Amino acid sequence: MKKLTGLDWRLLLLASILLGLSFTGAVWVDHFDDPSIGYFLLLQSLPYALAAWLVLREGEAARGRRALITILLVAVAMRLVLLPELPVSTDLYRYIWDGRIQGAGVNPYLLVPADPALASLRDGAVYPYINRADYAPSIYPPASQIIFYLVTRVSESPIAIKVAMLVFEAIAVWALLHLLAARNLPCSRILLYAWHPLPVWEFARSGHLDIIAIAFLLLAFVAADRRSPTIAGISLGAAVLVKYFPAIAAPALYRRWDWKLPVACLVTMSVLYLPYIGAGAKVLGFLGGYFSEEGFAKGSGFFLWQLLQLLLSLQQNSMILYFTAAMLVMLCVALLVLVRQNTASPDIGGAMLLAVTFTILSSPHYTWYFAWLIPFLCLYPTVAVLYLTCAAGYLYFAHWPPTLAEGGVIYGPCAVLLCAEFAFRRRRKWEERHGNAVAA
């Protein structure tokens, strides 16, 4: 069997378990906001983690071109099982609506879906499932709006949106394979992304657009690898205007004295905003309202803030101190990434550091917000981050916003694992130096 597939029996067994759970979940999870998805995310995390360990620990378990093809075929099969089913999140219907009204010549940042002027565009297949229909214009940035428009010119069905997301996921996988090859890392490490249950469910089943931002961000790293700062800047600008979080990784892409990347990024963002400039100051859509609605201004659901409140008895109005401290931490990490640059290649490790720090500080309320950490695992496998991305499935059971105890389930073990890994690596470096000194 290994000669045929390139994978040993243990990985094939784990692949069968993952596929079986995907099939069961496709049947079991049958309505919007079904918390049962959390069970399948957590159940699949165990065989996934074991498969990741085998690939990393025992290279012979997955080796060669056949192994890569088998890994990708298993990943495709898991996604195809979930693709036709009802999305768990209703976000996808807003994507379709935004594309539809753009096709009718309407700026999505100006009118809410319930506006009487849009009555002729409503139907029974999309409109009833649009969230915030009566009070919120679109929150999604211009690059995502352009993609919504293009996809809905082909079809306004949910499966068309999900297929588009899988196309971008294929681009992301291609970029990851390039980055692995450029660093002489085994291509079998793509398993750490391709078999991870979170993107399987959130992109193939629910069609979340985060994968578009992830794909453009990875393309930016590929372009930077190929010494094409202009293309890297264009890709980064597109990523930021799909969903704003890729901006966090910008310091890892920037090279000292390089003006092409930042200029290309800013020009790209300006060009992408042009089709929607008629909205004026409203071009940010519901972004401000979203921050208020999610309770960010009050610190609702911020795990570290809740922990500090418990330990230091801080008042609610002290939230500005947390925001200030978090910004200073991010600034320090960004400066560290900029200072430590010593090669012409992009600092993907630095990007992972920035992404993980931002994610922990912001402690997202939704599982799919953790998905952008997963590609970094292929290049820098870290047990703490692997746990964090798998444990995020617990959010489907948590209160909204998550309580301190619920956040502790996700971030507590992650913090312990991070400290343990840091201590282990420092000790190993000390032993290597000490061993070299003794040998000399």
**pLDDT by residue (tens digit) across 100-126?**
999 999 999 999 999 999 999 999 999
Is 155:250 a contact under the CB 8 Å cutoff? no
Residues 6 or more apart whose CB falls under 8 angstroms from that of 232 comprise: 220, 221, 223, 224, 253, 261, 264, 346
pLDDT at 295: 67
| Intervals of the chain under pLDDT 50 | 438, 440
Tokens representing residue 252 in the block: 């890892």
Domain ranges of the chain: 2-276+294-439
Structure tokens at 20: 């079986």
The confidence score (pLDDT) of residue 433 equals 72
Q: Give the pLDDT confidence score for residue 100 in this predicted structure.
A: 98
- Which pLDDT does position 189 carry in this prediction? 96
pLDDT confidence of residue 436: 57
Determine the pLDDT at residue 186: 93
pLDDT of residue 311: 83
Give the pLDDT of residue 425: 83
pLDDT of residue 424: 86
Distance in angstroms (rounded) separating the CA atoms of residues 14 and 412: 28
